[in-house]
């Protein structure tokens, strides 16, 4: 099957045989909270419905895989990775089996968002008592399959992160700045880890700041160190910005909605779960990023805007939005 890439053109690569992608997404200038930033617009990278943003980078290896083998994964019943995999499997004619623990009643009664999308795309859902450390050995009834761990936090995600890193080096090469920092909103930290790994070894003036959205800094560092060990043990982990206050992941809050709206009026539409929380942390500590005059600020836009409408319904149910 021919893949059509929205913002990607294939160019013959004369150094090696085969093709490489060039100019995957643009780097644009935006002013937010009084600071000029460069925004890496991976939100504009859309391969298929709900297969966009940083998931295009993390699943690069599977997008380009012609295998028809089933894909098996696990995690939350509303996850972005789940929806991206469901979309990818539908696009490439692969079976998709997804393990999760009990689905909340309201979602079972009235599927919505990523959950509905994935079921409609043909996902086979398997409900199990626990998915903690689910391994391929526990997967039954499939003659063969490709196993994607929680959040696609595995060595194969490095391939697409490298493509992104090369793109950024190319786009930033005219900058004379000695210190370019790229902020990456992080869940598992997979994208941040592999991006930093390539940059540390290939671009001395560009580094990553991972912003923990799911837990605190220690949790994110631990996750990235673990993934590093499982992917070559290179010993490079990006800097992590420690949030001032811990907040529960993905829970609606009016402060978050405020930041999200403010960013939107300033011309930066981020997603309401990862992006808004990352910005809340960035605004709390301006000296680390937007208030630091000695650095060139780059915001990596992870995409994920497809999840906003179901998240907004949660805000509505809680009376935080009309
Ligand atoms: C998946 C996702 C992330 C987290 O990516 P990790 O590689 O797990 O850190 C951040 N933002 C958005 C919008 C996502 O969909």
> What pLDDT, in 10s, does the model give residues 190-236?
999 999 999 999 999 999 999 999 999 999 999 999 999 999 999 99
pLDDT at position 322: 81
Task: Identify which of 160, 186, 305 to mutate to test ligand 1's pocket (most ligand atoms within 8 A of the CB).
Answer: 186
User: What is the band of 158 on the pLDDT scale with cuts at 50, 70, 90?
Assistant: very high
pTM of the model: 0.92
Task: Identify which of 51, 52, 53 to mutate to test ligand 1's pocket (most ligand atoms within 8 A of the CB).
Answer: 53
| pLDDT surpassing 60 at residue 11 | no
pLDDT at position 133: 83
pLDDT at position 12: 35
Paired residues of 36 in beta bridges: 31
Q: Which residues contact 225 (CB under 8 A, 6 or more apart)?
A: 237
Tell me the CA–centroid distance for residue 143 and ligand 1, in Å: 31
> Could you give all domains of the chain from N- to C-terminal order, each with its CATH number?
9-49+156-317 (3.40.50.1100), 55-152 (3.40.50.1100)
Of 300, 321, 303, the closest CA to residue 257 belongs to 321
Tell me the CA–centroid distance for residue 80 and ligand 1, in Å: 8
Of 91, 94, 102, 144, the closest CA to residue 124 belongs to 94
Joined tokens for residue 172: 């930033």
- Mean pLDDT within 149-172: 98
d(CA 185, CA 252): 17
Tell me the CA–centroid distance for residue 223 and ligand 1, in Å: 14
| pLDDT surpassing 50 at residue 2 | no
Would you give the DSSP letter of residue 316?
Answer: H
Tell me the CA–centroid distance for residue 306 and ligand 1, in Å: 13
Of 131, 127, 201, 128, the closest CA to residue 161 belongs to 201
Residue spans of alpha helices (H) in 41-157: 54-58, 60-63, 80-92, 105-109, 113-120
- Mean pLDDT within 66-85: 97
Residue spans of alpha helices (H) in the chain: 54-58, 60-63, 80-92, 105-109, 113-120, 158-171, 190-202, 217-229, 254-265, 274-284, 308-317
H or E element, residue 23: none
H or E element, residue 73: strand 70-74
d(CA 70, CA 140): 12
Task: Identify which of 114, 190, 249, 304 to mutate to test ligand 1's pocket (most ligand atoms within 8 A of the CB).
Answer: 304
Ligand 1 site residues, Cβ closer than 6 angstroms: 53-54, 58, 80-81, 151, 185-192, 271, 274, 302-304
Tell me the CA–centroid distance for residue 16 and ligand 1, in Å: 31
Q: Which atom of ligand 1 is nearest to the CA of 186?
A: 9
| pLDDT surpassing 90 at residue 6 | no
Q: Which residues contact 236 (CB under 8 A, 6 or more apart)?
A: 193, 196, 197, 200, 201, 228
* pLDDT single digits (tens) 13-71: 333 333 334 449 999 999 999 999 999 999 999 999 999 999 999 999 999 999 999 99
Q: Which atom of ligand 1 is nearest to the CA of 151?
A: 8
Tell me the CA–centroid distance for residue 266 and ligand 1, in Å: 23
Of 62, 57, 133, 135, the closest CA to residue 92 belongs to 62
pLDDT at position 143: 96
* pLDDT single digits (tens) 104-136: 998 999 999 999 999 999 999 999 999 988 999
pLDDT at position 320: 95
- CA-closest residue to ligand 1 atom 4: 187
**How many Cα atoms sit within 13 Å of 242 on the Cβ side?**
2
d(CA 206, CA 181): 6
Task: Identify which of 302, 305, 308 to mutate to test ligand 1's pocket (most ligand atoms within 8 A of the CB).
Answer: 302
pLDDT at position 10: 39
Tell me the CA–centroid distance for residue 273 and ligand 1, in Å: 10
Would you give the DSSP letter of residue 178?
Answer: S
Tell me the CA–centroid distance for residue 12 and ligand 1, in Å: 31
């Amino acid at each position: 099957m021919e893949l059509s890439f929205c913002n990607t053109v294939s160019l013959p690569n004369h150094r090696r045989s085969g093709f490489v992608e060039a100019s995957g997404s643009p780097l644009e200038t935006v002013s937010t909270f009084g600071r000029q930033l460069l925004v890496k617009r991976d939100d504009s990278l859309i391969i298929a419905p709900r297969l966009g943003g940083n998931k295009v980078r993390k699943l690069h290896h599977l997008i380009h895989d012609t295998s028809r083998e089933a894909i098996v994964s696990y995690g939350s019943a509303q996850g972005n990775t789940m929806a991206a995999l469901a979309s990818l499997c539908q696009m490439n004619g692969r079976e998709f089996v997804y393990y999760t623990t009990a689905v909340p009643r309201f979602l079972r009664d009235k599927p919505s968002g990523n959950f509905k999308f994935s079921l409609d795309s043909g996902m086979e859902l398997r409900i199990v008592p626990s998915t903690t450390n689910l391994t391929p050995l526990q997967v039954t009834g499939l003659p063969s399959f490709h196993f994607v761990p929680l959040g696609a936090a595995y060595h194969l995600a490095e391939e697409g992160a490298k493509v992104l890193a090369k793109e950024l080096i190319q786009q930033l090469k005219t900058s004379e700045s000695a210190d370019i920092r790229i902020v990456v909103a992080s869940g598992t930290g997979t994208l941040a880890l592999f991006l930093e790994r390539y940059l540390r070894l290939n671009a001395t003036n560009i580094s990553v700041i991972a912003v923990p959205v799911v837990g605190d800094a220690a949790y994110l560092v631990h996750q990235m160190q673990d993934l590093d060990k499982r992917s070559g043990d290179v010993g490079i982990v990006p800097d992590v910005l420690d949030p001032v206050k811990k907040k529960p992941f993905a829970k609606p809050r009016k402060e978050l909605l405020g930041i999200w709206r403010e960013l939107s009026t300033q011309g930066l539409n981020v997603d309401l779960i990862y992006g808004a929380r990352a910005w809340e942390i960035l605004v709390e500590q301006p000296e680390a990023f937007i208030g630091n005059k000695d650095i060139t600020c780059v915001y990596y836009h992870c995409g994920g805007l497809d999840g906003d409408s179901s998240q907004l319904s949660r805000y509505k149910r809680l009376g935080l939005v009309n």
